[in-house]
Structure 1
Amino acid sequence: MEKALNRLIFFSVLTLALGCEQAGKKDQPSMDEKGIEPELSVAEMKEDLLEKGYEIFDYVDPQTADTVIMQQYFIAFLKKGPNRSQNKKETDSLQTLHLEHLGKMYELGFADISGPFGDDGDIRGITIYNTPTLEMADSLANLDPMVKSGRLVIEMHPWWAAKGFPLR
């Protein structure tokens, strides 16, 4: 019964997310003839983020005189959980489901990057969630099958980064 309820909640959240994603696409600029989306102006980007409920602030870079928009993201630290007694077959299955979950979060635009740490410490990896609220990021992170099984637990923190700046 609990499993069915969890599935219902998961698919309800996914359905809502997909609906929001499709609704948001109506407001996005159309692609040019080469299939490239035109960049939003700083004012358009600010307006879009604020309408969607994101926390932002901006500043002027003293070297370039460009306006930089800072957006609040949420970092989920995936830590070793209390239930690590699964056998290899169960662990492998959970890992597959975990990767599918993270892939879906990325595909839906809720997670920007995920990855494991290279040591065998208590913090196993991170995911950076791109959601308007901590509650939404935490809810999505806790839908992860590894978390639901108790193999991992989530520690969530708000984090600010410049909007649109790539990793290098």
Structure 2
Amino acid sequence: MKLIKNLLFIIVFVFISCQPKGKDEVDTQPVYNAGLAEKLKADQYGMSQYVMAFLKSGPNRSQDSISAVKLQKAHLENIGRLAKEGKLVLAGPFLDDGEIRGIYIFDVESMEEARALTKSDPAVKAGRLVMELHPWYGSAALKQVNELHKSIQKQNVTKQ
């Protein structure tokens, strides 16, 4: 009996979802945008190559609280600079207080360029963080995250 009810539910669901759209309903099927794909340097799948960096706890985490706060502020300012330059498409901390502290996703041509950018981070320079780099393949749309983020950001973390 339960099997019959489940089958009936599936049949009704399929029937309803296959009904033609009414005049007020909009078809939400995305339309390919060749101009945007070209701008974002997307491949045929809408994807792009990146370098992902895992920010890990470094060997020097013994800064006093004032120095640690200053270092964190400089670290966040560096993130903002890299994002503004278009080199960093995504960054953020992990919330579990583990060895891996956060991630960066770089939009760069090579691992060497990503390595040079990680060395510009004040927290890496101080030994508070170390970076582990990996080539990564993801949606080319990630390159629009920073612009979109500005429209939903109420307060800038570096101006607190």
Give the structure-1-normalised TM-score.
0.60
Whole-angstrom CA distance in 2 between matches of 1:116 and 1:69: 26
Q: Deviations over 1:109-155 (max 9, x none)?
A: 00011100011100000011011111111110121000000000000
> What's the Cα RMSD here?
2.3
Output aligned runs, 1:60-99, within 5 Å. 68-99=45-76
Q: Which residue of 2 aligns with 1:150?
A: 127
Q: Which runs of 5+ in 1 are unaligned?
A: 1-37, 50-55, 59-67
Q: Which residue of 1 aligns with 2:12?
A: none
1:70 deviates by 2.2
4+ residue runs over 6 A deviation: none
Q: Which residue of 2 aligns with 1:105?
A: 82
Give the structure-2-normalised TM-score.
0.63
Whole-angstrom CA distance in 1 between matches of 2:94 and 2:72: 15
Whole-angstrom CA distance in 1 between matches of 2:35 and 2:140: 12
- State the aligned residue count: 112
- Structure showing greater relative contact order (alpha-carbon pairs closer than 8 Å, 6 or more residues apart): 2
Deviates more, 1:119-128 or 1:158-167: 158-167
1:41 deviates by 5.8
Whole-angstrom CA distance in 2 between matches of 1:99 and 1:80: 16
For the pair 1:136 / 2:131, whether they are aligned, the reply is no
